[in-house]
Amino acid sequence: MYHRTLRFAPLLVLLLVPALQSCGVAAGAAAGTAAGLAYSDRGAETNVTASTATVAKATNDVLRDMNIGITSTEHDRDDDRIEIKGKQGDRDVNVNIDGDRDSGSTHVEVTVKKNVVDYDRDRAAQILSQIMRRL
């Protein structure tokens, strides 16, 4: 009985994925939710165990590889924060890197702004997923 159930598990997944895509669940899972990536109101975010400098280097490399032009980088050394802004076509990309010296973790949030009120959370998740792979 156990083996019969496992045999149909891949089929069940194939049938459920299209249904879940409409509500964004499959997209979140595919983008790395299992690895700690989560959607925020405007983008995607995660906590990593890497320094802000390491995350910033990975971010710069990813943005370059994804043909996103970096327009500015701001450092706040007192609060261990780095903000990297970029642009790709009509999209504004913003990566906030916020280190926590006490815990040794770093919070990373990526937003991709399409216009004044709309954000591309899926593209933000793609960028963040690539950053996480570099760490």
Asked if residue 21 has pLDDT above 80, the reply is no
Identify the CATH number of the domain in which residue 48 sits: 3.30.310.240
Structural domain count of the chain: 2
Same domain, 125 and 68: yes
Between 5-19, 49-63, 121-135, the lowest mean confidence (pLDDT) is in: 5-19
Asked if residue 23 has pLDDT above 50, the reply is no
Say what the pLDDT of residue 78 is: 85
Chain centre distance of CA 116: 21
Instruction: Convert the pLDDT of each residue in 50-99 to its tens digit.
Output: 999 999 999 999 999 999 999 999 999 888 999 999 999 999 999 999 99
Residue 114 corresponds to which tokens in the numbers above? Answer: 């399409």
Q: Quick one: the chain helix, strand, coil %, rounded to 5? A: 40, 35, 25
Predicted TM-score of the model (pTM): 0.74
Higher pLDDT, 24 or 32: 24
* Cα R_g (the chain), whole angstroms: 17
Higher pLDDT, 14 or 45: 45
Contact 25, 123 (CB under 8 A): no
Same domain, 26 and 58: no
Q: Which residue segment(s) compose the domain that 7 sits in?
A: 1-30
pLDDT band at 6 (very low <50, low <70, confident <90, very high): very low
Same domain, 14 and 42: no
Same domain, 26 and 78: no
Same domain, 79 and 127: yes
Asked if residue 126 has pLDDT above 80, the reply is yes
Strands 69-76 and 38-39: unpaired
Contact 133, 125 (CB under 8 A): no
